[in-house]
Amino acid sequence: MLDELPLALDRDASEPLSVQVADGLRAAATSGLLRTSDRLPSSRALAQRLGVSRTVIAAAYDQLHAEGWIAGKRGSGTYLTTAPAAAPAHHRVTIDAAAEGPGYDLGPGAPCVEAIDPTAWRRAWRAASDQPPVVRKDRAGEPGYRAAVAEHLLRHRGLSAGSDTVVLATAGTSSAVGELAAALLRPGDAVAMEDPGYQRAAGAFLAAGIRVLPVPVDAEGLRVDDLPPDIKAVYCTPAHQFPLGARMPAARRVRLVEYARHTGSFVIEDDYDGELRYDTAPLPLLAAMAPDVVVHLGTTSKILSPVLGVGWLVAAPWVAAAVLAHRDRTGTSPSPAGQRVLVELAAHGDLARHLRRLRRALPPRRELVVTELRRRGSTVLGDDAGSHVVVPLPTAEAERRAVAAAEARGVVVDGLARHHLFSQHDTRSAPPTTFGIAIGYAAPSSRDLHAAVPIVADCLAETLACGMPIEPAAGV
């Protein structure tokens, strides 16, 4: 039975967990351990068994469903089907929420797979699988992929990858951070990071023996004037600061670049949510302003699906050379499969059409979330970009109460306190000072979002009614 399937995950591998789950289920089907019409566990049950979030399982199921391996039957669950003869060797899925019962995940950072055109998605996977197997992976990434990324960045982010920069394929943002730490830094070196900030990036630095120094953020993002001395690099998310949602203005971007040049450090620009702007035009990328001191990172995980397991790095030639030398020493390089799928999507214009569709799909979702929350008295921040918003709360107890109340009613939201860097990695540090919840609105189906948001809004209203007026938290 399914409980006996050898479905193991390697958290140290470069492949995303969702890819590993999909690969494991696919292997079980092809080997005969799973048979046609076998019922799969719900995403909640499988997530609990494997010790991962439901978002991971949902992404894996989405991939398998799109490729024809599984199908949902309303009211009864998700079942293995016979893969169509024309389907590629890589696969996708859509989970019917009614089959699992109540339970909604509004955590941030997951993509809107509902906006993906299933026909284009299947066509890209089929075309990618029709290519001959590689004998040796290109350490820099497949040439077609690097060219597609360069075109994407020029058209959608205004970044020209010319002779002064090199585009490399990566296995995603966290993997790229780890490579930069190993290639450019030494154990004991210090890196400054936004606090609160992206925990996986912090974890990648710490795993390489790098000291992570927290820098507070405000309504304009990383506070450049508070950067500590003697650091080797600065990691930031200027397009839509994670998790608080601030947008770094032009003047502060200039100061950050000047700081890097003056101190001999470099900046790692994680373009989190960079493609997703609604109310204002995008500001120039740091990498466009200063390619000599900025390393630009992007990923397909937020605009398409983490199942592709690919991203990109754009940097000066000396940075690219150091990363490639690290890959030569370790034998690591990103998988070609996801790269080939992106190439196919870009070649037929499907990637550009998807981004346009995504920008049309997300604003109504955002409007629903913001309207429901504000109508019940909540303050909402970070809603001018990205795919999540933040509701600040005054205390840790208020945050705990709101998160617990939502979870008790079947809705998962993300508390802000856990994103403080040293609250996670240094028991000697001061306690978190920023509290609230982050609400993602991209990943749920439209139906689930309409059902879940009023529940969260009611939970926050009840927190207000308990005598805890909600004001912007410290640093927001």
Give the Cβ contact number of residue 332 at 10 Å.
Answer: 16
- Is the torsion defined by CA of 409, 413, 416, 422 positive or negative? positive
What's the rounded Cα separation, in Å, for the pair 435 and 420?
A: 10
CA 396 to chain centre: 25
The string of pLDDT tens digits covering residues 288-311 is 999 999 999 999 999 999 999 999
> In the prediction, which pLDDT does 314 show?
97
Contacts of 123 (CB under 8 A, 6+ apart): 344, 348, 350
The string of pLDDT tens digits covering residues 184-207 is 999 999 999 999 999 999 999 999
The string of pLDDT tens digits covering residues 54-106 is 888 888 887 777 666 787 765 667 888 754 333 333 333 333 333 344 489 99
Stretch among 25-29, 185-189, 210-214, 240-244 having the lowest mean pLDDT: 25-29
Q: What percent of the chain has pLDDT over 90?
A: 62
CA 66 to chain centre: 21
What's the rounded Cα separation, in Å, for the pair 170 and 324?
A: 11
**Architecture of the domain made up of 17-80:** Orthogonal Bundle (1.10)
Do 83 and 67 meet the contact criterion of CB atoms below 8 Å apart?
yes
- Could you tell me the residue ranges of all domains in the chain? 17-80, 117-352, 355-466
Of the candidates 50, 26, 79, 12, the residue with the CA atom closest to the CA atom of residue 307: 26
What's the rounded Cα separation, in Å, for the pair 273 and 451?
A: 25
What's the rounded Cα separation, in Å, for the pair 268 and 443?
A: 27
Of the candidates 133, 201, 138, 125, the residue with the CA atom closest to the CA atom of residue 169: 138
Stretch among 382-386, 394-398, 444-448 having the lowest mean pLDDT: 382-386
The string of pLDDT tens digits covering residues 254-267 is 999 999 999 999 99
Q: Please, what CATH class does the domain formed by 355-466 belong to? A: alpha beta
135 pLDDT band (50/70/90 cuts)?
confident
SS3 363: helix
CATH code for the structural domain at 117-352: 3.40.640.10
What's the rounded Cα separation, in Å, for the pair 386 and 369?
A: 13
Do 145 and 343 meet the contact criterion of CB atoms below 8 Å apart?
yes
Query: Encoding tokens for residue 46?
Result: 């499988």
Q: What percent of the chain has pLDDT over 70?
A: 86
Apex CA 320: angle with CA 314 and CA 325, to 5°?
150
The string of pLDDT tens digits covering residues 332-344 is 888 899 999 999 9
116 pLDDT band (50/70/90 cuts)?
very high
In 26-149 the beta strands, taken as DSSP E runs, fall at: 39-40, 70-73, 77-80, 104-105
Do 396 and 474 meet the contact criterion of CB atoms below 8 Å apart?
no
210 pLDDT band (50/70/90 cuts)?
very high
What does the mean pLDDT of the chain come to?
85
Apex CA 172: angle with CA 169 and CA 178, to 5°?
95
Stretch among 9-18, 170-179, 448-457 having the lowest mean pLDDT: 9-18
What's the rounded Cα separation, in Å, for the pair 306 and 19?
A: 8
